[in-house]
Amino acid sequence: MASLKELKGRINSVKSTQKITKAKQMVAAAKLRKAQAAAESARPYAARLAEVMGSLASKITVSENSPKLLAGTGSDQVHLLVVANSDKGLCGAFNSNIVKAARLKAKELEAQGKTVLFYLVGRKGRAVIKREYPKQIAHMFDTSDVRDPGFNEAEKIADELVAMYEDGKFDIAHLFYSKFRSALVQEPTCQQIIPVPAPTGGVAADSEAVTEYEPEEEEILAALLPRYLKTQIFGALLENAASEQGASMTAMDNATRNAGDLINKLTIQYNRSRQAAITTELVEIIAGAEAL
């Protein structure tokens, strides 16, 4: 049986832990709203661009002369896994879920005899992948010096990816991030980003009016592909940010509740042992008085 003083110390320490988790929960709730709004306001651009890409792609045929970003390198030997994580912890299984999805894919690809490389975004998740694939990390993109990864970061990532792609460092790139379903549900998602999967939909919507292109369709498409890539990565970063806050909120809510339960249990134990001590003292006094 722990002494009274020990119990009191433990109750206090759990109480301060609860304060931290509660504060983090409230911060996450506020940030979640902001992240959701950011994801919301990025949607028109992505939708428009996808529409334009769709109508362009339906007009040209993919051939050897098509931009490499669309047609691919003609081989599928080297796969690059772009894993987007967060920079901060205290968000439950958010990061480990993404890393788990990436590792599964890596195992699957390696079983097929492909080469797997990693491109890591964000600070968390580095350690795990580094331990398992120490020689296969192509690059680690640091986002810890900015508050919220925004379009500038997406741009830099996309530029680096395109440069690597053009140097022939990889053939196919997959992007791993967490899709935001709700504050309770985040879905680790794998998406092929290079070569750009031909956008579907938007087919022959403008069949009656012939659209003029300036410059030619192919040139526009070539100019748009990197932009489309940026938008995809930007969208993923935003989804990730919202998911992180959602996961953090849920995890911290659970932690706060657990801490509350623990405090109740410890308090009961504390009171019991205090009463036991008083009873023992009384028994001793009465026994002493009777002996006289």
Partner 1 sequence: MALHFELVTPAKLVRSEDVHMVVVPGTEGEFGVLAGHAPFMSTIADGALKIYKTENGAPEEITITGGFAEVGDAGLTVLAEHVEG
The Cα-based distances of 141 to 44, 59, 234, 260, 267 in angstroms read: 27, 36, 14, 39, 47
Side-chain-side CA neighbours of residue 220 (13 Å)? 15
42 binds partner 1 (CB under 8 A): yes
52 binds partner 1 (CB under 8 A): yes
48 binds partner 1 (CB under 8 A): yes
Which residue lies nearer to partner 1 by CB, 233 or 247? 233
Q: Which of 29, 38, 137, 263 binds partner 1 (CB under 8 A)?
A: 38
Q: Has 91 been annotated as catalytic?
A: yes
Q: What is the DSSP string of 255-278?
A: HHHHHHHHHHHHHHHHHHHHHHHH
Strands 78-84 and 115-121: parallel
For partner 1 (CB under 8 A), the number of binding residues is 29
Query: In whole angstroms, how close is the CB of 148 to partner 1 at the nearest point?
Result: 11
Q: Please give the order of strands across the beta sheet that includes 137-141.
A: 137-141, 115-121, 78-84, 172-180, 186-194
150-175 exposure pattern, b = at least 16 Cβ within 10 A, e = fewer: beebbbebbeebbebbeeeebbbbbb
Query: In whole angstroms, how close is the CB of 170 to partner 1 at the nearest point?
Result: 25
The Cα-based distances of 277 to 1, 265, 285, 288, 291 in angstroms read: 12, 19, 13, 17, 21
- 8 A C-beta contact, residue 273 and residue 7: yes
Range 67-126, binding partner 1 (CB under 8 A)? none
44 binds partner 1 (CB under 8 A): yes
Q: Which of 61, 63, 75, 211 binds partner 1 (CB under 8 A)?
A: 211
Query: In whole angstroms, how close is the CB of 60 to partner 1 at the nearest point?
Result: 13
Q: Which of 64, 145, 212, 290 binds partner 1 (CB under 8 A)?
A: 212
Q: Which residues pair with 82 in a beta bridge?
A: 119, 175
Residue 201 has φ and ψ, to the nearest 5°, of 85, -170
Which residue lies nearer to partner 1 by CB, 59 or 105? 59
Tokens of residue 280, six digits? 């023992």
Q: Which of 113, 134, 215, 288 binds partner 1 (CB under 8 A)?
A: 215
Q: Which of 57, 69, 83, 91 is catalytic?
A: 91
Q: Which of 20, 191, 227, 267 binds partner 1 (CB under 8 A)?
A: 227
46 binds partner 1 (CB under 8 A): yes
Q: Tokens 């985040």 — which residue?
A: 186
Of 128, 158, 127, whose CA–CA distance to 237 is shortest? 158
| Chain centroid offset of residue 101 CA | 11
Draw the binding track, 232-271, toward partner 1 (x: CB under 8 A; -: no contact). Answer: --x-------------------------------------
Q: Which of 29, 45, 88, 123 binds partner 1 (CB under 8 A)?
A: 45
Which residue lies nearer to partner 1 by CB, 84 or 266? 84
Eight-class DSSP state of 199:
P
Active site residues: 91
| Residues in touch with partner 1 (CB under 8 A) | 38, 41-42, 44-46, 48-49, 52, 150-151, 154-155, 206, 209-215, 219-220, 223-224, 227, 230-231, 234
